[in-house]
Amino acid sequence: MNVIKGQHLTGERALFKVRGVRVENCRFDEGESPLKESRDIEVANTVFGWRYPLWYDEHVSVKSSAFLEVARAGIWYSNDVELVDCSFDAPKGIRKCHDVRLSHVQMPHADETLWWCEGVRVEDVSVTGDYFLQGSRDVYVKNLHLSGKYSFDGCTNLVVEDSRLITKDAFWNCENVVVRNCFIVSEYLAWNARNVTFENCIIQSLQGLCYVSGLTLRNCDLMDTDLAFEYCSDVDAELSTPVVSVKNPLNGRIVAPSIGEIIFDDPEVNPCNTAIVQTERKEPFVCLCRAV
């Protein structure tokens, strides 16, 4: 493998179409697309200081490097991309890529990042930004610290574990989602999603978990959550703490220590299709065909 070391590389397409190259201790500056259309490249201790650094690439490993904020739209249309111990300060960072792996990466300006990717693995990553991971599929996330809005919109085959998510309107329009051991603060959580499971999660939501088809909750704490489960079908919820209010679930089963208010105000929704068990009440099972 050829080595390029200790250089300040400027100009458009500075290393266009390189093959089998290791780039060490370099800086790319004042020129777009420095490594466009490259293959089998390793990058270490390098600074990307301009736009579109890694487009249409194959088999890329970037370690201990920095993508400055001006390195916008940094990695697009590329396959087999690994980022380890990197600072990624630019928005719109990764799109339309296959087989992407991020480990120990900081992304403080990650608006519109990781869109429409397939085969994504994110571990020990910190993200601040809106619309993170939109429209991606076959995604595994572990130990993600996320602050932003509208995260995971339209994802398919998504697993999220051991993460802290402070994100408005997360998991919308998703299909086949498993979320384990997470702390989640999210208004309007998981609307219009299909086949969604939360396990051992602490969730604070305003009118969350509505319009979901196939919702499972196991040992979850719906902290200060109100107007939950509206028009939710096939719900199977086992909750460890009280719920402020439940509204118009379509069918299924909800188990909680107590529910502050059970609301059925839509005449087209049959209350008898949902079994509600309140384990700390004298009558733990309530048939909602009769007055509550």
Q: What is the DSSP string of 70-122?
A: TS-S-EES-EEEEEEEEEE--SS-EES-EEEEEEEEEETT-TT-SBS-EEEEE
Does residue 162 surpass a pLDDT of 80? yes
**Spatial separation of the C-alpha atoms in residues 215 and 197, rounded to whole Å:** 6
Sheet holding 54-55, edge to edge: 54-55, 75-76, 94-95
**Spatial separation of the C-alpha atoms in residues 227 and 123, rounded to whole Å:** 33
Confidence class of residue 284 from pLDDT cuts 50, 70 and 90? very low
Q: Given this model, what pLDDT does residue 1 score?
A: 82
**Spatial separation of the C-alpha atoms in residues 23 and 35, rounded to whole Å:** 10
Contact 71, 50 (CB under 8 A): yes
Contact 10, 33 (CB under 8 A): no
User: pLDDT per residue over 91-129, tens digit each?
Assistant: 999 999 999 999 999 999 999 999 999 999 999 999 999
**Which residue would you say has higher pLDDT here, 286 or 113?**
113
